[in-house]
Amino acid sequence: MPYYPDALWNRMLTLLEYRVEEAGRYAVSHVPRDGKWGSYSKTGANRTKTLRDAQDRVNYKIYTLGVARAVWLCDPEGKTRQRINIGVEPIRTSDLEAAKALLAHYSNPPKVYSDGDLIWANRRMVSYHHGTAHTVPFVDVYDGRVSFGSKTSMPKLSPLYISRNDVVLVEATLTRWKIGEESESSQDGQNAETSSRAARNMGWTSWKTGFELQSITLLFEGPEDIADDSESEADVGEI
C-alpha cells in the first residue's frame, strides 16, 4: 500500500495505538480479553448480543485502519443495501491476526478464523414496524481527509463516496449470533418484538462472533487502477 503520503502514515501510527478505556474505545490490537456480553437494560433493551466492558457500562468500540478492498454499502441505484459490508486490508499484518484472535476468543465454542486477509464489518440495515420490514439508510460516513477528529467536527459523506482502495478507519462493535438450533427462530419472519422475546427465553449457549459496522471515516482517496482480488460478499458471515 505505497500510494499514501508519509504525513498520513504518521497519523495512522497514532491511530493504531488508540485506546480510551473509560469509553471502551480501542484499536483492534488493544481490545481487552475480559469483556462481558451485555445484559437486558432496565427498559428491556436487549444488549446480550454486544460485547461490553467488564463492568457492563459501555459497548466496546473497535477501530480497524487500512485499505478498503471490498465495499458493499449501496445498490446500483444508490440505495442502502439491506445488509452492508466493508472488507478492509489492515496496514499491519499484526492487526489482522489480532482481529482473528479476538473473534476466536469471544466465540463459543472458540472458532479459529484462519481464512482470508481482510477484516470484515457488516450490519443489517432492516427495521420492523408492525411486521413490515424497512431498510434504514446508513449515514455514519465521515470525511477525515483534511482533519481527523470527533464525529461532530468532521463533515459527513454519502456512502457512495467510499470506494475500493480508499484508506479508511472503520468503527465496529463486536457482536454475536446464535448457531445451530438456537438460530432457527430468527429465520421464520417474526417481527422484532417477538424475536426479542424468543431470544430472551432461549438464552445463549453457543454462538459465532463478528464485527458490526458502526461508522466509516475516509482518510485518503485511493487510486482506481489497482486490481481487486478481494473476497466476494458471499464469504462474509451473517449478523
Q: What is the DSSP string of 106-117?
A: HSBS-----S-S
Closest Cα partner for 70 from 237, 238, 239, 229?
A: 229
What is the model's pTM?
A: 0.84
- Locate cell 482480488: which residue? 229
Alpha carbons 231 and 116: distance in angstroms, whole number: 7
Beta bridge partners of 61: 25
Closest Cα partner for 63 from 207, 199, 183, 219?
A: 219
Model pLDDT, residue 182? 46
Position 180 pLDDT exceeds 70:
no
Q: What are phi and psi of 42, to 5 degrees?
A: -65, -25
What distance separates the 2 farthest-apart alpha carbons in the chain? 54
Alpha carbons 208 and 144: distance in angstroms, whole number: 32
C-alpha cell belonging to residue 63:
477501530
Residues above pLDDT 90, as percent of the chain: 64
Mean pLDDT of 147-169: 96
C-alpha cell belonging to residue 239:
449478523
For residue 202, count other CB atoms closer than 10 A to its CB.
Answer: 13
Residue 185 binned pLDDT confidence (cut-offs 50, 70, 90): very low
Model pLDDT, residue 45? 75
Position 6 pLDDT exceeds 90:
no
Model pLDDT, residue 97? 95
